Amino acid sequence: MSQCALTGKKVQFGNNVSHSKRRTKRTFKPNVQKVTLTSDALGCNISLDVAARTLRTVQKKGGLDSYLLNTEDRELAEEGLRLKRRVLKSLRG
């Protein structure tokens, strides 16, 4: 199952509804892309599976480090929280 590494966005389920109101099950898959993002604080490139919407937000906020530091913990997935802790640790030490 595809899932965004930073936000945790994953497959959702719903119905196709025809003109005659018949309902059939369907899935809504997130647009997950494999990208390599640069972390200035860590000094390395990080390869992640990220939703296109999240990638736009990362670029808008000025890069991966800035996105992680300015996003609340409850909005990040496990991988995002791990990266945020690594960035904070490297900036402190």
pLDDT in tens, 6-27: 999 999 999 999 999 999 999 9
**77 part of a folded domain:** yes
Dist. CA 18–CA 50, nearest whole Å:
32
Dist. CA 67–CA 10, nearest whole Å:
20
* pTM, 2 dp: 0.87
Q: Which CATH number do you get for residue 33?
A: 2.30.170.40
What is the model's pLDDT at position 1? 57
Please give the residue range of the domain that contains residue 55. Answer: 12-92
**3 part of a folded domain:** no
Domain count, the chain: 1
pLDDT in tens, 52-93: 999 999 999 999 999 999 999 999 999 999 999 999 999 998
**4 part of a folded domain:** no
HSE of 27, CA atoms in CB hemisphere, 13 A: 7
**2 part of a folded domain:** no
What is the model's pLDDT at position 2? 83
**67 part of a folded domain:** yes
pLDDT in tens, 31-49: 999 999 999 999 999 999 9
